[in-house]
Each structure stands twice: as structure tokens, then as C-alpha cells.
Structure 1
Amino acid sequence: MSMRTLAIGDIHGCLTALKTLVEVAGVTPEDTLITLGDYVDRGDSSRGVIDYLIELRKTHQLITLRGNHESMMEEARSTADQFHFWAANGGYQTLESFGVEDVHEIPKLYWKFLKSLESWYETENHIFVHAGLSADLPLKEQPPLSLYWMKFSQNQPHESGKTIVCGHTAQKDGLPSVQPGAVCIDTHVYAEDGWLTCLDVMSGEYWQANELGESRRGELDPVG
């Protein structure tokens, strides 16, 4: 199998789906694998997801991006208001996965992981980001509001001419969504009928898995 560039959408603590997806997509150390952020919150296994990614980094070419939920989790340590905002958006499930009630009790290893996350990743034809890009700004000038919070419908073709590969905006039909200059692969994994998606960005082939360990595959037109 030749080297591939693969992207995985929002994981949200869904460890069974993640492990199943890596297996059915046949991810190898020769592939470049980009995870688009939102590893924590909503699902039951946020700690397990981070543990799995830390181990996968040791053997694979894994690029881990930051999502808005990682940003909220970090900010939850600063004030009571920030904590309650995070907790109301799935943070309580993350605390439960660590077996703690206080965000400050989460071990340092996990804060180190969060600090290591990248804001975006660029290849010859694609830009990978959690949420989106301001169309007329170069990558290094992108504001956090665009990188982590932009809705998919707000994305416009980027000035670079490269295709944006993003997550963040849950596609509730469980299928990747394509629009001019962008593709979204957040397929609502934590929902009862949701899926986690891995996309081969050059071929358009994608694989999906859910928390029941079920899988399926599909194909898009090549996305850039």
C-alpha cells in the first residue's frame, strides 16, 4: 500500500469507534494521519482516547490538531465561569473518564498533550484545521475564532487555493459534506446513530466506525 494522507474527524471520547476505524482503514506507519481535534467531552472515554493517541504517536506519523473542546478544557482551569461553560458542553463526561471532580486533578501528562496540539497542518494540496479558515488571511494570521469555532457553512475557498479539510460542524446525517474548497468530516460520532470518519484526501475513499464497533466505507470525489 502506498503512503496516504488520512484525516479523522471529531472523536469526542469515543474510543471504540476510534480503534475500530484505525483498524478498518488499515492505517500504517507509512501513512500520515491527521486528527482534527475534539478528542474529549460528550463520549465516555476521553482519557482513553488521549492515551491511545499518545501511544499511536510513538509508532505512526500522527499529526494532532487542537479543537474548541481542548481549548475549553484548558480554559476551564482559569475561572468558575469557564469551568461551568466547559462542563455544560461535555466536560462532566471528561471528568468522569478521569475519575475526578476537579479539573485541576487531571494528571500533568494530559495537559502536556493538550499543549502539544497544532492549530493547523498544511500539505501541497490541503489545509487541515478543526473548524475553518478566514478566506482572505494567510495561515499564520488566522484568528482562534476561525480555527476552532467557525461553522462549516461559513467556509469560503481559501486564498491559498488549497482544499480545507475540517470537522467541528456535526453532519447529523452521518456523512461527510463537501462544498467548494472544503470538506467536513465531523459525522456526529457521539450521537446514537453517529459515525467517526477517516478520509483518504487524495482518493476520496473514506471509512466510518461507531461505538458499537460497526464499520462501513464510502467514496467522495477526490477533494483537492
Structure 2
Amino acid sequence: MERTLVIGDVHGGFKALEQVLERASVTTKDTLIFLGDYVDGWSEAFEVLNLLISLKASHNCVFLKGNHDELFYDWLTKGKDNPNWLHHGGQATINSYKDRPYNFIQIHTHFLENLENYHLDSKNRLFLHAGFTNVKGIEQEHFTKMFYWDRSLWETALACRNLDKSDEFYPERLTIYSEVYIGHTPLSRINKDKPYCAAGVWNVDTGAAFTNPLTIMDVDTKEFWQSDALPTLYPNEKGRN
């Protein structure tokens, strides 16, 4: 059976990524859509990217860009860092890449360079890391960084979760796509650790960067599988602040 599976923010949790792929019984017939933020948090960012690159060779994969992926790419290519990034997981990623072979660094840099801003499938389902701000949709978005930095889409969806689409004040932004899948804003902020849908926007970031599990979900059936909570997989680490 061919499935479309969406995977939330990994944040260096290689062990969790291995678990969800195994628990979902992923095969080469499945399409895998990764929502970004592969690095910054737990200690195995290097191993995460290695696994993603190998999956790209064997599976039908879509790799979306997260804000943490951009920050890491800037550090790799320009030596750019900042105290805020280092504090929010960047230091763990730098540590993970210490003394790695240069050819692997080049391969990983190329991978990050080619991440996609969004993916729109044949069923008008939109996948992106964070959101968009233009009321006409992604093709009219003038600020492409919003695809991996915006939080207003999710905030708007939460505010409208109990409204009917026929309401005259219902946001136009939430009517364009049949469904939207995002990560970026951990659901632990609203005390949830499972995928949650608000006004047609599915948030799959179940807080793996912090104390919750990583999630993979079948976008057709909404069945999902989760890893163990990340602190149990990395008992000597703190994850992201």
C-alpha cells in the first residue's frame, strides 16, 4: 500500500527518527514528507542528516526547510552564528559536526542548500515548516522566509478552531488549501503531545526538541506513530532550551 507520511521536527533526535520509521513500517512505496528543523537540540544532528540523505536515495522524499536548518546552513557556509541560535540548540549541532570528514560536510551542505520552501500535492494539501502570510496563498507570498519562520498561520488557526467557514469573518488564508501541514511551533505550548488540527491546519511538531516524542503521520488516514519521549532516548542531555 502506498502512503503519504509526514514527519515532524526532528531536532537532532536520530534515535527517535529511527524509531518512528520502524514503528510506521515505512517501505519504499511510501512518500515521506519531512517538515524541517532536522538540527539543533539533541546531539545527533550529523546522524540525522546522514539518514535523510540515504533515504533520499531509496525513497520518494520531500525535504522542507526549517528555520533551524537555515541558521545551521548560514553557520556552515558563512561562519554566521549568534548567541540566541547557540542557546536554542545550535551549540549541540556544532558539537555534532566537530571533526567530521570534510567530504561529509560538503554533502550535508548541499543537502541543506536544496531544501524546499513548501510542497503542494495533487489533492491541494500544503506542506511547509511554518506558514505563510499572504491571503492569496503561497504563490503570492512576497516574504519567502515566512515559509519557515511564520507563526501567525498557526495562531490564526487556533483562534478560529471553533468557527464555521461560512462565517463572514473567517480568514481567507484558511480556505485556500484542503489541508495544511506544519511543524515549527511545538504543541507542548498548548499541553499536547499528539498531532492536532485547528481550522484545517495540522500541526505535527509534537515537541521532540523538548520532552515529548517525535511523530510520523499518515495524511490520508490520520493514523500516527510516535517515538519514545526524547529525554528517555538521550538521558544525559537537555535538548533545546
Q: Same fold (TM over 0.5)?
A: yes
Structure 2, unmatched stretches of 5+, are: 158-170, 234-241
Give the Cα separation in 2 of the matches to 1:69 and 1:122. Answer: 22
SS at match of 1:198: strand
Is the aligned partner of 1:206 residue 2:208? no
Alignment of 1:11-26 (within 5 A): 11-26=10-25
Give the Cα separation in 2 of the matches to 1:179 and 1:140. Answer: 23
1:174 pairs, out of 193, 197, 217, with 193
Measured after TM superposition, the shift of residue 106 of structure 1 is: 7.9
What one-letter code is carried by the residue in structure 1 that aligns with 2:196? Answer: S
**Which residue does the alignment assign to 1:219?**
none
Contact in 1 for aligned 2:38/2:69 (Cα 8 Å): yes
**Which residue does the alignment assign to 1:184?**
203
Q: Which moved further from structure 2: 35-44 or 173-182?
A: 173-182
1:114 pairs, out of 106, 112, 115, with 112
CA RMSD of aligned residues (A): 2.3
Measured after TM superposition, the shift of residue 175 of structure 1 is: 1.6
What one-letter code is carried by the residue in structure 1 that aligns with 2:136? Answer: L
Measured after TM superposition, the shift of residue 145 of structure 1 is: 4.0
Alignment of 1:31-70 (within 5 A): 31-70=30-69
**Which residue does the alignment assign to 2:156?**
154
TM-score (norm 1): 0.84
**Which residue does the alignment assign to 1:222?**
none
Alignment of 1:89-168 (within 5 A): 89-99=88-98, 107-123=105-121, 124-134=123-133, 136-142=135-141, 143-151=143-151, 152-155=154-157, 157-168=173-184
Is the aligned partner of 1:10 residue 2:9? yes
Q: Which runs of 4+ in 1 moved over 6 A?
A: none
Contact in 2 for aligned 1:100/1:106 (Cα 8 Å): no
What one-letter code is carried by the residue in structure 1 that aligns with 2:33? Answer: I
Give the Cα separation in 1 of the matches to 2:184 and 2:174. Answer: 18
Structure 1, unmatched stretches of 5+, are: 214-224
Name the one with the larger strand percent. Answer: 1
1:90-139 Cα shifts (integer Å, max 9, x gaps): 111001111259xx998211110100111111111310000112251332
Contact in 1 for aligned 2:36/2:63 (Cα 8 Å): yes
What one-letter code is carried by the residue in structure 1 that aligns with 2:155? Answer: S
SS at match of 2:61: strand
Number of aligned residue pairs: give it.
Answer: 208
Is the aligned partner of 1:86 residue 2:65? no
Q: Which moved further from structure 2: 170-179 or 20-29?
A: 170-179
Give the Cα separation in 1 of the matches to 2:132 and 2:28. Answer: 29
Percent identity over the alignment is 30
Give the Cα separation in 2 of the matches to 1:87 and 1:106. Answer: 22
Give the Cα separation in 1 of the matches to 2:20 and 2:125. Answer: 22
Larger Rg: 2
What one-letter code is carried by the residue in structure 1 that aligns with 2:43? Answer: D
Contact in 2 for aligned 1:8/1:185 (Cα 8 Å): yes
1:41-98 Cα shifts (integer Å, max 9, x gaps): 0111000000000111111111111000011112335465x44342222111001111
What one-letter code is carried by the residue in structure 2 that aligns with 1:195? Answer: P
